[in-house]
Amino acid sequence: ELRPVIRACLAGERAATEMELDATNRRGRAIRCRVTCTPLASAGARHHLGVILVMEDVSAPAAVPAPAS
């Protein structure tokens, strides 16, 4: 699912793209993952040098610790 998005970023067809997909974390647990793909370019470059992928687990809300009293 990510390959077409990465290729489009490399080709300059898309700016930052965000998508959600099912994935498996490093502990083998099924999660819902938000992936943001952004082209990596340098000043004056005619083509993109790569992509930056940011992955975030969005399957469950983060637990907020209770304030200390």
pLDDT tens, position by position, 9-67: 888 888 889 999 999 989 999 999 999 999 888 777 677 789 999 999 998 766 666 67
Q: What integer pLDDT is reported at residue 62 of this predicted model? A: 63
Q: What integer pLDDT is reported at residue 42 of this predicted model? A: 75
**CA-to-CA dists, residue 65 to 21, 56, 61, 62, 68, angstroms:** 28, 20, 12, 9, 9
Q: Is the pLDDT of residue 1 over 90?
A: no
pTM listed for this prediction: 0.72
Q: What integer pLDDT is reported at residue 53 of this predicted model? A: 94
- Angle of CA points 4, 44, 35, to nearest 5°: 30
DSSP-derived secondary structure letter, 10: H
The Cα–Cα gap between 16 and 34 comes to 13
